[in-house]
């Protein structure tokens, strides 16, 4: 996928997940305009989703395959 001559493949996955924080903007707008409680719950849900994406798109670890295996 390209946007303005740049590819998204060159960006770090966590950077792309962080862009999801922009979803907070309409949630805050809704919370101030309508129901503060509903806006708060929506903001918490957005934060949970972004947190999960941040963890899932992070590095797996630096263990080599075969370390700590039961078949030693």
| pLDDT tens-place string over residues 27-40 | 888 888 888 888 88
**C-alpha span between 29 and 42 (Å, rounded):** 11
Per-residue pLDDT for 6 more than 70?
no
- DSSP state at residue 7: E
Per-residue pLDDT for 72 more than 60?
no
Residue 69 is assigned to a structural domain of this protein = no
Tell me the mean pLDDT in the region 5-23: 73
**C-alpha span between 17 and 53 (Å, rounded):** 6
Residue 31 is assigned to a structural domain of this protein = yes
Are 44 and 37 in contact, with CB atoms under 8 Å apart? no
| Residue 32: partners with Cβ closer than 8 Å, 6 or more residues away | 39
Q: Can you give the residue range of the structural domain that contains 48? A: 14-56
**2 φ, ψ (degrees, to nearest 5):** -120, 145
Residue 46 is assigned to a structural domain of this protein = yes
Q: What does the pLDDT read at residue 22?
A: 83
Count of domains observed in the chain? 1
Residue 32 is assigned to a structural domain of this protein = yes
Hey, how many other C-beta atoms are within 10 angstroms of the C-beta on 27?
Answer: 19
Residue 62 is assigned to a structural domain of this protein = no
Q: What does the pLDDT read at residue 50?
A: 85
């Amino acid at each position: 996928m390209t946007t303005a001559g740049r590819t998204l493949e060159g960006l770090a996955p966590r950077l792309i997940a962080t862009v999801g924080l922009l979803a907070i903007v309409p949630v805050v707008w809704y919370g101030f305009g309508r129901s503060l409680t509903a806006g708060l719950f929506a903001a918490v849900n957005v934060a949970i989703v972004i947190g999960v994406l941040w963890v899932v798109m992070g590095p797996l670890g630096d263990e080599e395959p075969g370390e700590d295996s039961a078949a030693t």
